[in-house]
Amino acid sequence: MKDLQFRRHRRLRGSASIRKMVRETHLHPEDFIYPIFVVEGTNVTNEVPSMPDVFHLSLDLLDAEVDEIVSLGIPSIIVFGVPNSKDDVGSSAYDANGIVQKAIRQIKEKHPELTVIADTCLCQFTDHGHCGVIEDGKILNDPTLDLLAKTAVSQAEAGADIIAPSNMMDGFVAAIRFGLDEAGFTDVPIMSYAVKFASAYYGPFRDAAHSSPKFGDRKTYQMDPANRLEALREAESDMEEGADFLIVKPALSYLDVIREVKDFSGFPVVAYNVSGEYSMVKAASQNGWINEKEVVLETLTSMKRAGADLILTYHAKDAVRWLNESE
């Protein structure tokens, strides 16, 4: 045994201090984007049944939520709206006095330094729950683009710092870029949901956003989870059309895609740690099957290690508290 040759990797794991010295990937509060759901009405603070600790908030209760986010040092939020009224073309998505537009104005008035991202889609605002205009049971691509551009412009007029289109119609980034530029918002970036898979992990979000499709599914516009090369083609299209950030959604089952999109594009890549990923951790934690803190921080670290520059996550507030405890 005395002549046995091997490397002593454990030397760099001998203490917490040494492990911290050689750690390759770090989480910081500025890595996180926190999602919030705003609703009509007053004094509304309803917990989403399938997403513990995630709430629907009316505008009169929104300030306290945003104050907490800012106090934790989280620099950006994304706003999702749940309107009272819906129609077949999602008119309240591009209403200047829609719930999202009112929320953005209110947030920016009190916290102008906070980066406010507007989710730009139609599914929460249509009575059929699909992300586009429907004719004879088909989701029409090109007529939908006009509505998306109108929605993005109205959100920028309300004060959104970044537009995040999520609807996966072909040409959606080009249409929104054209609409923003024409309206004078040439400096407003687009954070495109460039690589969005038709995933079963979205279930709890549809519970939160009341956006389940009334018929069929979204597989004609969201991607087949089995496809890797198609993800790169989608990312390339959005880069050519004017996207400034690229989102990969979901994150945890698609870490390989995050890495490839990062290496391929060189663009800022955002991992969307989606509702199903969040809810599974919460459920297991509440049953005492896992250590929530350790699982969450390990999961978020894996997304950064895969190449994500930013992580959109419902765990953001807890993660920041845990990171602060460890310092």
Which run of H or E residues covers position 319?
helix 316-326
Catalytic, 196? Answer: yes
Q: Quick: pLDDT tens for 68-121.
A: 999 999 999 999 999 988 888 888 899 999 999 999 999 999 999 999 999 998
- The one-character DSSP state at 294 is H
| 49-65 exposure pattern, b = at least 16 Cβ within 10 A, e = fewer | ebbbebbbbbbebbeeb
Q: Which of 86, 102, 150, 196 is catalytic?
A: 196
Q: Give me the helix-helix angle, 255-265 and 229-241, nearest 10°.
A: 40
Residue reference for tokens 């999520």:
166
Indicate if the alpha-carbon torsion angle 177, 183, 189, 193 is positive or negative.
negative
3-state helix, strand, coil in the chain (%, to 5): 45, 20, 35
| 121-159 exposure pattern, b = at least 16 Cβ within 10 A, e = fewer | bbbbbbebbbbbbbeeeebebeebbebbbbbbbbbbebb
Q: Quick: pLDDT tens for 226-243.
A: 999 999 999 999 999 999
Question: Tell me, what's the pLDDT at 209?
Answer: 64
* CB distance 265 to 244 below 8 Å: no
The CATH number assigned to the domain with range 25-217+226-325 reads: 3.20.20.70
- Percent of residues, the chain, with pLDDT higher than 90: 81
Residues of the chain with pLDDT under 70: 207-212, 214-215, 217, 327
Strands 310-313, 245-249: pairing is unpaired
Residue list, annotated binding site? 121, 123, 131, 206, 218, 234, 275, 314
Question: Tell me, what's the pLDDT at 220?
Answer: 79
Catalytic, 20? Answer: no
Residue list, annotated binding site for Zn(2+)? 121, 123, 131
Calpha distance 153→185 (Å, rounded): 8
Residue list, annotated binding site for 5-aminolevulinate? 206, 218, 275, 314
Domains in the chain: boundaries: 25-217+226-325
DSSP track, 115-126: EEEEEE-STTTB
In degrees to the nearest 10, what's the CA dihedral of 196, 284, 302, 160?
50
- Nearest CA-CA partner of 274 in 151, 120, 166, 124: 166
* 3-class SS of residue 180: helix
Indicate if the alpha-carbon torsion angle 220, 224, 228, 231 is positive or negative.
positive
Q: Which of 102, 150, 249, 282 is catalytic?
A: 249
* CB distance 147 to 192 below 8 Å: no
Neighbours of 105 (CB within 10 A): 17
Residue list, annotated binding site for Mg(2+)? 234
